[in-house]
């Protein structure tokens, strides 16, 4: 004889799905559907008949992998990747290094004004990227740069310095967020670990290097992966700075090339294929980093 299931139990079983439903719907509409549609567009192209005039002269046809071959063989795309790799090497090293340093300092037993310092460091992250880039961009102009008041004549948006200037904006805006992630992870560590180390005669520096940083490794890996993805998708800084200098081309970064192909040249199909290639490279970089970290952890273990 089958036991009767109470109606309250059925309602409780359906409750998790009701809470998840809004997130699933939003993810489907604004993430899954655009990805599928982008993949569809990347396999299409416009075929022009005759002079391209009149009804039916332009129609959408299946292109196979032609758009992907064109994207992979485009020198502008790979030149943009080289620029982004140089930009990313600066941003990741400086930003994550400062975030770790600030997190360790704020977690120190002798720190003062910790709450004010956390807010001050996190505040730049709350400034929208476009606003922050424009603010820094006007400071970079030769006519208003504070360096001129110090007697230093530097062209901060020149061919040799524009990458460092953009990296400075990213570091200024992203350090606080990564610091907060690392600091939160540190606050979850039992204080007894540090007290035991101090009893054994360990200095604050030794506690940071031998206890805190090893415990922080999962959070460091997490922030690194997020930072890699954000760096690959750099778009706001070069686009907002471009009207202020002639050293930033319309294809300075891979995403800028996608924007130009789609909305300036009107070639949605090529732009869709290029965006899929960019997403694939981002996945390879992210999972490659995780694989290296995992293999090293296994070797050390």
Question: Mean pLDDT of all residues in the chain?
Answer: 86
Q: In sequence order, which residues have a C-beta less than 8 Å from that of residue 220 and are 6 or more positions away?
A: 96, 100, 182, 213
Q: What domain range includes position 205?
A: 74-253
User: Is residue 31 domain-resident?
Assistant: no
pLDDT digits (tens, 9 = 90+) for 62-80: 888 999 999 999 999 999 9
User: Is residue 85 domain-resident?
Assistant: yes
User: Is residue 129 domain-resident?
Assistant: yes
Q: What domain count does the chain have? A: 1
User: Is residue 290 domain-resident?
Assistant: no
pLDDT digits (tens, 9 = 90+) for 43-60: 998 877 655 565 666 777
User: Is residue 25 domain-resident?
Assistant: no
**Ramachandran area for residue 155 (φ above 0: left; ψ -120 to 50: alpha; else beta):** beta
Task: Find the CATH number of the domain harbouring 168.
Answer: 1.10.3720.10
User: Is residue 196 domain-resident?
Assistant: yes
Phi, psi of 58 (to 5 degrees): -120, 125
Q: DSSP character for 2? A: P
| pTM given for the model | 0.84
Query: What's the confidence (pLDDT) of residue 53?
Result: 60
Distance CA 132, CA 170 (A): 9
User: Is residue 15 domain-resident?
Assistant: no
User: Is residue 291 domain-resident?
Assistant: no
* Residue 156 and residue 260 in contact, taking contact as beta carbons nearer than 8 Å: no
**For the residues 194-215, what does the mean pLDDT come to?**
87
The encoded tokens of residue 31 equal 């993430």
Query: What's the confidence (pLDDT) of residue 57?
Result: 61
Distance CA 137, CA 135 (A): 5
SS3 81: helix
User: What is the enclosing helix (H) or strand (E) of 58?
Assistant: strand 58-62
**Ramachandran area for residue 64 (φ above 0: left; ψ -120 to 50: alpha; else beta):** left
């Amino acid at each position: 004889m089958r036991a009767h299931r109470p109606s309250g139990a059925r309602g409780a079983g359906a409750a998790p799905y009701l809470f998840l439903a809004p997130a699933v719907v939003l993810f489907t509409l604004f993430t899954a559907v655009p990805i599928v549609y982008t993949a569809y567009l990347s396999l299409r192209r416009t075929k022009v008949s005759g002079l391209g005039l009149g009804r039916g002269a332009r129609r959408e046809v299946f292109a196979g992998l032609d758009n992907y071959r064109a994207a992979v063989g485009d020198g502008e795309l790979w030149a943009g990747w080289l620029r982004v790799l140089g930009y990313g090497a600066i941003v990741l090293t400086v930003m994550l290094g400062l975030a770790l340093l600030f997190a360790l300092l704020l977690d120190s037993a002798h720190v003062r004004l910790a709450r004010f310092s956390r807010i001050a460091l996190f505040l730049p992250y709350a400034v929208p990227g476009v606003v922050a880039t424009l603010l820094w961009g006007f400071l970079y102009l030769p006519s208003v740069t504070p360096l001129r008041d110090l007697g230093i004549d530097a062209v901060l948006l020149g061919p040799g310095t524009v990458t460092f200037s953009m990296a400075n904006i990213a570091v200024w805006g992203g350090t606080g967020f990564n610091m907060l992630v690392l600091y939160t992870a540190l606050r979850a560590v039992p204080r007894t670990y540090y007290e035991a180390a101090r009893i054994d005669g360990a200095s604050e520096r030794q506690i940071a290097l031998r206890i805190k940083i090893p415990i922080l490794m999962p959070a460091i890996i997490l922030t690194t992966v997020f930072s890699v993805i954000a760096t690959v998708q750099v778009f706001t800084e070069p686009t907002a700075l471009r009207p202020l200098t002639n050293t930033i081309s319309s294809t300075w970064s891979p995403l800028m090339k996608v924007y130009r192909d789609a909305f300036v040249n009107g070639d949605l199909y090529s732009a869709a294929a290029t965006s899929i290639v960019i997403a694939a490279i981002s996945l390879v970089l992210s999972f490659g980093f995780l694989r290296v970290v995992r293999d090293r952890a296994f070797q050390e273990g």
